[in-house]
Chain A
């Protein structure tokens, strides 16, 4: 049959010129197309036959088949589709490994680029910073920083907070490899737009412990909660949620130490239990102030580590292949936590300002609302006079103690049959509650030294995403900080909470590139009686170079 077709094609080819004389242009085009199609079909067939022939020849030539390793380590320039049909003569051993292009590179390397265009309608364009500085009990600094307030600032480095306009958040370099039969290791290095380099994670992880045990050591993101161990480019939204941002800081619980975890076998559901001992070099939770501040406010030096401990448990019932639900409970304890509170007293010269105290004093404890005679002594260094006969005094209080953090998380994911994530649905929510048990170590009011302050703040976020088209995903998030704002046993502050609604649309052009637009309406408490309500808009790009990323749960 193949043979009869070839002469047919030749005839057709010969007939074409004759036909041109008779046919109009349309017919010619049609004939040409047909001919072209036929030619293509024959070429395909002939190539196919040639290849089968050469394969057969090769198979006949090579009496002994080449070793498997040779077949796998062909150079990149090897021709496509060398379909060498060899009977497998591998003995009982077989190939234990994984066929991977990555075996040529050790370690596996990837770079993720994360940049955005940001715009908000606050007066100073500092909305992206404000969401991370929402007012809560114990956070003395609000809108306006002053020199003393900065001692309480986070570790002394800035976190590439978005400004109005173009921002390059970070280029994340990651290296990972199996070190030997005993360890895996990975390093993640982030370089922000200003060139600041930061080690996000660098850890080893055991791979051969028995009984479902694993030990991880180095600098890593804690497995506290659900969102904590995700890198920024893995988030469903451009920015971090309010509870994490304000109770743990931009990096979350990222610290140096050891983790032990256990995945029990033979349970009818998935479970993972673990704990961590960490050094305690934290920005917010379990933070210690600078050496100078420790001296100035009589807080004592930073204890030797480890100062921070966590415990977590996750369970996931069996819901079939396409649904997944995971519930987690987490706890963290910081053995040492230090804060410096600064607050201002407004003092009328007439000494009739008792009511105003409660408004202006951020920590209006009963005891603080007295002793104005003493306060005047500080006027020289701390106070300044208002034109209308009101004096404002800045008081700073040093507090030290410990802190606890509880977290509950719930994540549900549905993997739909649609193309490229169409119909996929996720729901994710977490509740965090932070309690700081502190003692006053220094104060403008000496009689308060030694008294205790218990500060409680909590927060919640809930977010959902839905794949409304292949490669397109929409997300909605509500997050709130300060459902509870308690200072010392049972006394609730009435200043309320900060919250935010966020909506985003993510377009995954391919596995390796992602564009996202995000809008948020923010209602952020910047001081006890001051709110900033603003709109914030992001357009973000994420580019993934190198190794295929992992689709972790």
Chain B
């Protein structure tokens, strides 16, 4: 039904000789649902393909033929970036034989390249795990950064589709305003949050935004699972403190559960990304869920 009305509008516009108000239907590929939500908000009429669901680890994914197919016809790929998708996106993009979406071109958009990053620099020694000195890539959990990314994305979409530029800009602004409206509430709810233990440093942008202390990570260094000794050490450090343990669905639940049992803390399993079909509002609900989980442990 919606499509019919769009068609009708297009027909009207052309018959009336008015420049079509409709923006071009760009083919956009987002690597994860967070980026997909931004695309839906900024360019609701884009043909969007989201490559990975919220229940999969973006860092360990493997390039698949279906990804290559989606990238082959894409006008724009929207990635989180900063080497988060390094294992599979370059391989898939190269195989897709689509020069328009390679890094350095207008068709390649990386959220992490639009905002300041945390955890920049540091040792490149892999004794410290799967380190990425370029910075922590998980910017998509910070709503303020995501609002900035949305505006940059609108500018990029405007370059690809000049006719829709003002619309994209307006949509991004609307999203940024929605984030601004929610911020005081989130800040209030998290003002006295005691702190969080994460499995991996994947929610630090959210914690940093609201000043919630990161009390520790379950993996001793990135990409390396904890040994019994690591867990005992962490338990020793945290005993007596208040907090909540949060981990992603693809992270092993065993260690978080054990730690929670030993400390008497709650455990929450939360995805890094909103559901597959989420738009801007879906993304804000996703942040709501995180805020709830972190604030609840008062």
Chain A residues close to B by CB (< 8 Å): 1, 33-34, 36-38, 40-41, 44-45, 48-49, 52, 68, 71-72, 74-88, 90-103, 181, 184, 205, 207-210, 212-214, 261-267, 269-270, 272, 314, 316, 318-322, 324, 326, 413, 415, 417-422, 470-471, 509-512, 548-553
A98-B103, A419-B250 in contact; A88/B151 too (CB < 8 A)? yes
A91-B155, A212-B98 in contact; A510/B223 too (CB < 8 A)? yes
| B82/A552 in contact, CB under 8 A | no
Binds A, one of B4-12, B13-21, B127-135: B127-135
The reply to whether the CB of B211 lies closer than 8 angstroms to some CB of chain A is yes
The reply to whether the CB of B73 lies closer than 8 angstroms to some CB of chain A is yes
| A86/B55 in contact, CB under 8 A | no
A52-B211, A90-B152, A420-B252 in contact; A551/B116 too (CB < 8 A)? no
| B51/A97 in contact, CB under 8 A | no
| B94/A207 in contact, CB under 8 A | yes
Interface residues of B in 38-77 (CB under 8 A from A): 50-53, 55-56, 60-66, 68-69, 72-73
**22 A-B interface contacts by CB (under 8 A):** A38-B240, A45-B213, A48-B213, A72-B113, A82-B120, A88-B115, A96-B106, A97-B103, A98-B79, A101-B83, A101-B133, A101-B134, A209-B99, A214-B97, A263-B95, A321-B51, A321-B53, A322-B53, A417-B55, A420-B252, A422-B252, A471-B225
A52-B211, A95-B110, A263-B95 in contact; A270/B65 too (CB < 8 A)? yes
Q: How large is the interface on B (under 10, 10 to 19, 20 to 34, 35 or more residues)?
A: 35 or more
A96-B106, A97-B113 in contact; A549/B60 too (CB < 8 A)? no
A213–B137 alpha-carbon span in the complex (Å) = 32
Binds A, one of B85-93, B178-186, B277-285, B290-298: B85-93
| B239/A37 in contact, CB under 8 A | yes
| A413/B62 in contact, CB under 8 A | yes
| A553/B63 in contact, CB under 8 A | yes
| B69/A269 in contact, CB under 8 A | yes
| Contact code string B201-213 (vs A, CB < 8 Å = 1, else 0) | 0001000100101
The reply to whether the CB of B117 lies closer than 8 angstroms to some CB of chain A is yes
| A324/B86 in contact, CB under 8 A | no
Query: Which residue of chain A has its CB nearest to the CB of B106?
Result: A96
Instruction: Give every chain A residue within 8 A of B195 (Cβ-Cβ).
Output: 41, 44
Instruction: Give every chain B residue within 8 A of A318 (Cβ-Cβ).
Output: 66, 69
Interface residues of B in 235-289 (CB under 8 A from A): 237-241, 249-253
A92–B155 alpha-carbon span in the complex (Å) = 5
A100–B87 alpha-carbon span in the complex (Å) = 12
Q: Interface on chain A toward B: helix, strand, loop, or mixed SS?
A: loop
| B124/A101 in contact, CB under 8 A | yes
A82–B115 alpha-carbon span in the complex (Å) = 12
Instruction: Give every chain B residue within 8 A of A512 (Cβ-Cβ).
Output: 126, 130
Instruction: Give every chain B residue within 8 A of A71 (Cβ-Cβ).
Output: 116-117, 120
A249–B243 alpha-carbon span in the complex (Å) = 59
Query: Which residue of chain B has its CB nearest to the CB of A88?
Result: B148
A419-B251, A551-B91 in contact; A324/B192 too (CB < 8 A)? no
CB distance from B99 to the nearest CB of A (A): 4
Q: Which of A90, A267, A550 contacts B90 (CB 8 A)?
A: A550
Q: Nearest 5 pairs between A and B by C-beta? A: A78-B121, A316-B65, A37-B240, A95-B113, A419-B252
Instruction: Give every chain A residue within 8 A of B161 (Cβ-Cβ).
Output: none
Query: Which residue of chain A has its CB nearest to the CB of B86?
Result: A548
Instruction: Give every chain B residue within 8 A of A74 (Cβ-Cβ).
Output: 120-121
A98-B81, A550-B63 in contact; A86/B116 too (CB < 8 A)? yes
| A470/B252 in contact, CB under 8 A | yes
